A and B are shown apart, each in its own frame.
Chain A
């Protein structure tokens, strides 16, 4: 933001300066003439743009240095005019010179000028109207183009070519500019002088994109070096689409887990883990409101529908003071129409779901609508999995998202966003799970001037789940459990650029949490189930923040910020007082305090300094340092390996202190070969205070004394991330290696609160070695090959260690928590894509993708579990065994057809 505005000021200055030069021409020497390479290099330095071209197309033309003093558009026009090349612009960031020149074949006579005379010149002045006819054909193969249009704008007269490509048009005699157009072809403008009836044939040439050596990224190539922020993963949807498809579609969250420092527990499992943090430590924002459950189908697919998403940014460290609430990362997802002035309809049929997407202006240039929806039919997939529980399961989901943009005027814009997702699945025989996310936000952007504007947003996120268990033979014991979380926030963010060295953001953020941890009801009238309702929780989290992006010198830039957070746990609630000399268990409760509605029960507050420093070493290298502190007041309590829909969100309370995360990172960034190869090394250290973990044997659901089953744990995460990315050429891709550790430790005084006798133990997300290799090879213009190899150390696991018997039952005793590890995880996915057509304007463009997930059929362990065996001859009457569960145990080939129109 700062750079853009600074550039705007700078460019204005240049225009004034260049005007003075035009008025007072100066004597120049040969050094004032630049080659195209020099011009482009200077333009790329000056503006956040990138050019693609071949030098030979410019035929050694030189350009006067003064054109650089013109505005960007004027400079570009000069180059186009001089070189007679065309330019394709992508997102105003990428400029591609292409040697496609409109070819006009003169017919049948050509005067001295570009005007073509049609008709018999001897009959000039004899008629007032005349008929123009002829054929419109493809310039390459001379085939007719039925439907091509011929139009005279000035007269608003036009016609279309018939099946044979022939047209007839009656127009007044005289000079006219004829515009010829056809979908997928370059427009052709031709001046004619019609003197009498006559014929003229026109040729049109197909448009095409010929970018075999270009990978499209929205970010400027040097931004990894020049930006102040570090530990940032920024993907636009085009970049994500370069990745292998998973189960027939693109999945943003699954794609993010291929980035350094981001991991997931396996093929299943909700969310992701950033630098050893748990999934609930990630703030996933869609249009300013957070998602509380990001998965469909046990985590096989994320709830984020990629249709309509324009930008995804993941901040792993150096998190701006604008953000808070969660300790490990922020994922900011933005939606918007690609072209708000054009209606687009998009749909698809996948292996487990279908999608529909509409993008249309409701009032041109004023109101735009974006609407997307998905719905599943995934039962067949579950039923084909040879697991008895999954075979007896069913699953269904849908999600709908909508964004309406109101462009009130140049200074005011309002976005209204709504999202709903719903999952329903029956696991095994009798248990039904249902959960939903409902999100909504309104954002008003108001600009006072070019240097000062604000975004005022209000949003809510409502997460609900219901578990019901119904047994027809014992209906009186059937029950359902409902739980809900309501998040509401208001955020008012001001952006101010007082001068070219400062860019400030400041504002306030107020959040309220309302949690209904669980309510139990019987499902039938004569139920023996007693209604139970766990005490609801309420809290507010307010914050003020200020951040300043300061450019001290061309080499040194800082992003300084501070955030002050004030949290209050509110009534109505009953707070238990525990005996200080005993462990926190229900039996040690000695008193309770009852608070009425909105009474503050306890307060927590803290200052959160944020700092990012970038020191530029050279044009293509820099060192960055960052530090941030974040308080987290809401935690997801889970004692399952997979983030389950029945996990309980819990607020910080008098007996549960808030999580405080201090995160320091340092990195070295260097680009090679004209920024086509990016490299980085980042080292980080995170200190987590008051992470919440569960005690052995904890009961999470419907536990009125849940805090008595929890214990505070301190964590230490550290690691080093190596990253190299190649952006251009036929071979593109990246390689990343991460070494990281994630440790936890209780500091409890009582045995009941200790985990592993207060000794440090690896967290569930401790996977020391992680390697990702991604390669994308453009075999030819139409063939692309992609492969992704991932390797990581197996995750920690608690295994049976001893066996014993009690009262005739054969039992086992598990090891200390996370003492062992699952076998290492590695997988290779490959895909090859054939593009049917590269023509930009062709209505139907298709591509075939053949992919194989898990090429060599590795049976990666997802989890390990103990299972009691039936007392059978076939298993030699074994009492129990340990198993590992794997999700995709063989090569999974898919063939996908994508098409665009």
Chain B
């Protein structure tokens, strides 16, 4: 073999690895039932939403499944009917049915075409509350939706310590909503000397953490307490770009009523309230959310696992060839609320103050009203300090 010396002299081009949008021909004609159901330990109306999945590349709207019989049974032989409330929305009667920790529940669905679906039995675990929720100052790059730019933002990490009270692994799911309160006054001149004053107490709600938040990192399988678990990051902004509510005056009794407009304005935030829901998950729920989270976090990295079907816990028992997707979840939930006060965070001023868990007025079908307004009357959840 001859000795060969190789010297690379010039590399004119560069390796250009990138990705581009791919629009493959998708071949699917099956109608696949989607089940979105959750029961908890709270005395509340539980919702089971039924719809058909849509082709991935279609622009079709959600196709609700109506006229289905929906009921839940428990391991004591009890049966609880869910009544149709809206299109594809089936709701339990809170006076008849409240989840009891320790019991197992199974969802049954019979659709109009006779297909019979059944979930795996789901055990409802006891409720566990966080021991403490606190804030630590931090900076974070946040993607601005309008400009598309990443901006370095001051704020705080909201952290949770949770004492595990059982031998089982600490498997919790946290959801958090931030309600920003703002108010303004509209003056209406009734005549030359008379002004009517209308105070508007408004709010806007955002998801404080858009990702699925599960305790126990992939390898934090320590059965002891959960320490410093990140709940969300909150910035220290004091204004909000929110909906403007107008006023319609009834001249007969000089009362006013709100008019929801389509215009948005900047308002100074009066207070922010963090609503925290901590779900205690059983093993199946935890794994489902974990798979769901992996799918949502998937970014096409080289060593990402090959995509796999996100199979839930519901099967068609009348025909095993028929698929069903979604999940029937039974999880206890613990609610708590905190006033967010970041005004002097760096000087170790209290940043979170626990407050009663009072939700903003709730329209039908929603857990938390995304935005709203009440004029002239201070709402029950309103904070004055």
Interface members, chain A 820-872 (any B CB < 8 Å):
820, 859, 861, 863-868, 870-872
Query: In the assembled complex, how far is the CB of residue B131 from the closest CB belonging to chain A, in whole angstroms?
Result: 15
With both beta carbons as reference points, the residue of chain B lying nearest to A861 in the complex is identified as B22
Interface size of B in residues (CB-CB distance below 8 Å)? 79
Interchain CB contact under 8 A, A900 and B4:
yes
Determine the distance from Cα of A418 to Cα of B249 in the docked complex, in whole angstroms: 91
A642 interface hit (Cβ, 8 Å): yes
Is B6 interfacial (CB-CB < 8 Å)?
yes
* Contact B13–A891 (Cβ < 8 Å): yes
- Segment with Cβ contacts to B, from A59-67, A142-150, A172-180, A880-888: A880-888
- The answer to the question of A24 belonging to the interface, with a C-beta cut-off of 8 Å to chain B, is no
Flag whether A100 is at the interface (Cβ < 8 A): no
CB distance from A45 to the nearest CB of B (A): 29
Task: Please tell me if the beta carbons of A892 and B298 are within 8 angstroms of each other in the complex.
Answer: no
A751 at interface by CB-CB < 8 Å: yes
What per-residue 1/0 map shows which CB atoms of B305-333 lie under 8 Å from chain A?
Answer: 11111110001000011000111010000
Taking A528-B227, A883-B300 as contacts, is the C-beta distance between A888 and B54 under 8 angstroms?
A: no
Query: Bound complex: CA of A636 vs CA of B110, how far in Å?
Result: 44
- The answer to whether B13 touches A889, judged by C-beta atoms less than 8 angstroms apart, is no
A828 to chain B, nearest CB (A): 15
| Of A427, A697, A889, A895, most B-chain CB atoms within 10 Å | A697
A349 at interface, CB cutoff 8 A: yes
In whole Å, how far is B335's beta carbon from the nearest beta carbon of chain A?
Answer: 16
Shortest C-beta distance, A170 to chain B (Å), equals 38
A790-810 toward B: CB 8 Å interface, digit per residue (1/0)? 000000001111111111010
Q: Does B55 belong to the interface (CB within 8 Å)?
A: yes
Report yes or no: B308 in contact with A390, Cβ–Cβ below 8 A: no
A348 contacts B by Cβ under 8 Å: yes
- A641: chain B residues at CB < 8 Å are 304, 306
Inter-chain contact B13/A890, CB cutoff 8 Å: yes
Cα A248 to Cα B219 with chains together (Å): 41
B32–A348 CB distance below 8 A: no
Whether the pair B219, A529 counts as a contact (CB closer than 8 A) is: yes
Distance in angstroms between the alpha carbons of A756 and B303 in the assembled complex: 23
Is there an interface contact between B15 and A310, defined as CB atoms closer than 8 Å?
A: no
From B72-80, B143-151, B240-248, B352-360, the one touching the partner chain is B143-151
A409 contacts B by Cβ under 8 Å: no
Interface contact B302-A298, CB-CB below 8 Å = yes
Stretch at the interface among B23-31, B122-130, B260-268: B23-31
CB within 8 Å for A804 and B54 given contacts A390-B17, A813-B32: yes
Complex CA distance for A529 and B226, rounded to whole angstroms? 11
Any B CB within 8 A of the CB of A553:
no
Contact assessment for A884 and B15 in the assembled complex, using a CB-CB cutoff below 8 Å: no
Taking the complex as formed, is B384 at the interface, i.e. its CB lies under 8 A from any CB of chain A? no
Give chain B residues whose Cβ lies under 8 Å from the Cβ of A552: none
A290-311 CB mask vs B (1 if < 8 Å, else 0) is: 0000000010000000001010
The answer to whether A884 touches B301, judged by C-beta atoms less than 8 angstroms apart, is no
B34 interface neighbour in A346, A804, A866, Cβ under 8 Å: A804
Contact A387 to B17, CB < 8 A, known contacts A349-B8, A804-B325, A811-B295? yes
Contacts of B56 in A (CB 8 A): 799-803, 812, 882
Taken together as a complex, chains A and B put the C-alpha atoms of A700 and B16 apart, in Å, by 31
Asked if residues B3 and A798 are in contact (CB atoms below 8 Å), the reply is no
Q: Is the CB of B34 within 8 A of A806?
A: yes
Q: Is B364 an interface residue (CB 8 A)?
A: no
Chain B window 335-347, contacts with chain A (Cβ cutoff 8 Å), 1 for yes, 0 for no: 0000000000000
* A473 and B138 contacting across the interface, CB-CB below 8 Å: yes
Is B16 touching A702 in the complex (CB atoms < 8 A)?
no
Which residues on the B side are within 8 Å of A872 (C-beta)? 143, 145, 148
**Does B222 have its Cβ within 8 Å of any Cβ on chain A?**
yes
If A799-B24, A888-B17 touch, whether A346 touches B3 (CB-CB below 8 Å) is yes
Question: With A and B bound together, what is the CA distance between A882 and B23 in angstroms?
Answer: 7
B385 within 8 A of A: no
Q: A476-B228, A894-B12 are in contact. Are A529 and B222 (CB under 8 A)?
A: yes
Which of A346, A817, A892 meets B15, CB within 8 Å? A892
CB nearest neighbor in B for A885 = B19
* Chain B residue at minimal CB-CB distance from A890: B16
Q: How far is the CB of A53 from chain B (nearest CB, A)?
A: 23
Q: Which of B17, B53, B296, B305 contacts A804 (CB 8 A)?
A: B53
B201-237, CB < 8 A from A? 212, 217, 219-223, 227-228, 230
**CB <8 Å contact, B17 and A885:** yes
Chain A interface residue count, Cβ-Cβ cutoff 8 angstroms = 107
Q: Are A347 and B5 in contact (CB under 8 A)?
A: yes
Please determine whether A886 and B20 come into contact, CB atoms closer than 8 angstroms: yes
Give Cα A829–Cα B19 distance, bound, in whole angstroms.
22
Q: Interface 1/0s, chain A 232-264, versus B by CB < 8 A?
A: 000001000000000011000000000000000
Most chain-B Cβ atoms within 10 A of its Cβ — which of A298, A355, A896?
Answer: A896
Closest to A298 in B: B302
Q: Which residues on B sit within 8 Å (CB–CB) of A417?
A: none
A493 sits at the interface (CB 8 A): no
| A798→B38 CA distance, assembly (Å) | 30
Q: How far is the CA of A415 from the CA of B212 in the complex (A)?
A: 58
Question: Which chain A residues numbered 356 to 403 have a C-beta less than 8 Å away from chain B?
Answer: 357, 359, 381, 384-387, 389-390
B220 with A529: CB separation less than 8 A:
yes
Given A813-B32, A873-B146, A897-B9, are A640 and B222 also a contact pair (CB < 8 Å)? no
A20 within 8 A of B: no
User: Contact at B325–A813, with CB atoms within 8 Å?
Assistant: yes
Least CB distance, B270 to chain A, in whole angstroms:
26
Question: Are B8 and A528 in touch, CB under 8 angstroms?
Answer: no
Contact indicator A895/B6 (Cβ below 8 Å):
no
Q: Is B36 an interface residue (CB 8 A)?
A: yes
Closest to A881 in B: B21
B17:A886 contact, CB within 8 angstroms: yes
Contacts of A386 in B (CB 8 A): 16-18
Q: Does A338 contact B (CB under 8 A)?
A: yes
B377 at the interface (CB under 8 A from A): no
User: How distant is the Cα of A249 from the Cα of B291 in the complex, in angstroms?
Assistant: 42
Give the CA-CA distance A520 to B217 in the complex, in Å. 13
Residues of A contacting B217 in the complex (Cβ-Cβ under 8 angstroms): 477
CB-defined contacts of A868 to chain B, threshold 8 Å = 296-298
Q: Is there contact, CB below 8 Å, between B22 and A882?
A: yes
Contact A899 B15 (CB under 8 A): no
Question: Are B17 and A887 interface neighbours, CB within 8 A?
Answer: yes
Which of B1, B51, B309, B315 has the largest count of A CB atoms less than 10 A from its CB? B1
Q: A813-B53, A866-B298, A886-B18 are in contact. Are A639 and B325 (CB under 8 A)?
A: no
Bound-state CA distance A260–B146 (Å) is: 53
Pairwise interchain contact B5-A889, C-beta atoms closer than 8 A? no
Nearest Cβ on chain B to A746's Cβ, whole angstroms: 14
A345 at the interface (CB under 8 A from B): yes
B24 near A863 (CB under 8 angstroms)? no
B133-144 toward A: CB 8 Å interface, digit per residue (1/0)? 000001000010
Whether the Cβ atoms of B3 and A873 lie closer than 8 Å is no
- Flag if A867 contacts B300 (CB, 8 Å): yes
B323 nearest in chain A by CB position: A813
Q: Which residues of B contact A783 (CB under 8 A)?
A: none
Query: Knowing that A349-B7, A894-B13 are A-B contacts, what are 10 other residue pairs whose CB atoms are under 8 Å apart, sorted by A's residue number?
Result: A427-B302, A640-B304, A641-B306, A700-B305, A885-B17, A885-B300, A897-B6, A897-B9, A898-B5, A899-B6
Question: Could you jot down 15 A-B contacts, CB within 8 Å?
Answer: A351-B11, A384-B15, A389-B301, A473-B138, A640-B304, A807-B329, A811-B292, A813-B309, A867-B298, A870-B143, A871-B145, A889-B16, A893-B12, A897-B8, A898-B4
A residues touching B (Cβ–Cβ < 8 Å)? 237, 248-249, 268, 298, 308, 310, 338, 344-351, 355, 357, 359, 381, 384-387, 389-390, 427-428, 473-474, 476-477, 479, 481, 520, 528-530, 532, 639-642, 644, 646, 696-698, 700, 702, 751, 757, 764, 798-807, 809, 811-817, 819-820, 859, 861, 863-868, 870-874, 881-901
Shortest beta-carbon contacts, A-B, top 9: A865-B300, A338-B1, A348-B6, A346-B3, A802-B53, A530-B222, A696-B308, A644-B303, A804-B34
